[in-house]
Amino acid sequence: MSDAPTTGMSAYDAHGHEVSKFQIYVQIAMLLAVITGIEIVCVYLPFARWLLVSALVFFSAVKFLFVIFFFMHLRWDKPFCTILFFIGLVLAGGTMWALLQLFAAEASRPLTM
């Protein structure tokens, strides 16, 4: 998108055609609503737990990325905004992963259990 004019009014598709941001936003909102519906249906399906957890994490990540890159304009903004936000996101994700690993260890289980 960097070589396309960025007046904030429109985006450009793969063929260089101008696409209204209104259309993009409505399409993404509908997509997010459909993904949410799929997530809700997923939890009632009789599949393996690991498969369902992976699917839910994947769907959440897709929704998350759609919102930050389109609704929050990261797709059209300077890359520094993306880097800045992802620094916080990676630190948060790393902290979560580390905490979950630490507390998953046998030695970390509460004695009262």
Partner 1 sequence: MSTAAVATIDHHHDPSTSTGIPNKKLIMWAFLASDCMFFGALISTHLIYRLHPPAGGLEPKNIFAPELTSFSTFILLMSSLMMALAVTAIQKGNVKSCRWSLLTTIFFGMIFLGCQVYEFTEFVTVKNMTISNSLLGTTFFTLTGTHGCHVAIGVLWLSLMYVRSFKPAAGNPWQKSWLSHNLLHAGCLIAALLLSLKIVISLVFILKEAPSFGAGFSHFLGAEFIYIALAIVAYGALVWFARPRGAVDFNEVNAIDVESMGLYWHFVDIVWIVIFTAVYLLEYI
By the criterion CB under 8 A, which residues form the site for partner 1?
6-9, 21-22, 25-26, 28-29, 32-33, 36, 39-40, 42-44, 49, 52-53, 56-57, 59-60, 63-64, 67-68, 70-73, 76-78, 80-81, 84-89, 91-93, 95-96, 99-100, 103-104, 109-110, 112-113
Q: Which is nearer to partner 1, 16 or 108 (CB)?
A: 108
d(CA 27, CA 81): 24
d(CA 24, CA 61): 19
Shortest separation between residue 93's beta carbon and partner 1, angstroms: 7
Q: Which is nearer to partner 1, 13 or 22 (CB)?
A: 22
d(CA 48, CA 55): 11
Find the angle CA(68)-CA(59)-CA(63) to the nearest 5 degrees.
20
Shortest separation between residue 73's beta carbon and partner 1, angstroms: 7
Both tokens assigned to 10? 């429109």
Residue 69 makes CB contacts below 8 A (sequence gap 6+) with 75
Q: Which is nearer to partner 1, 18 or 99 (CB)?
A: 99
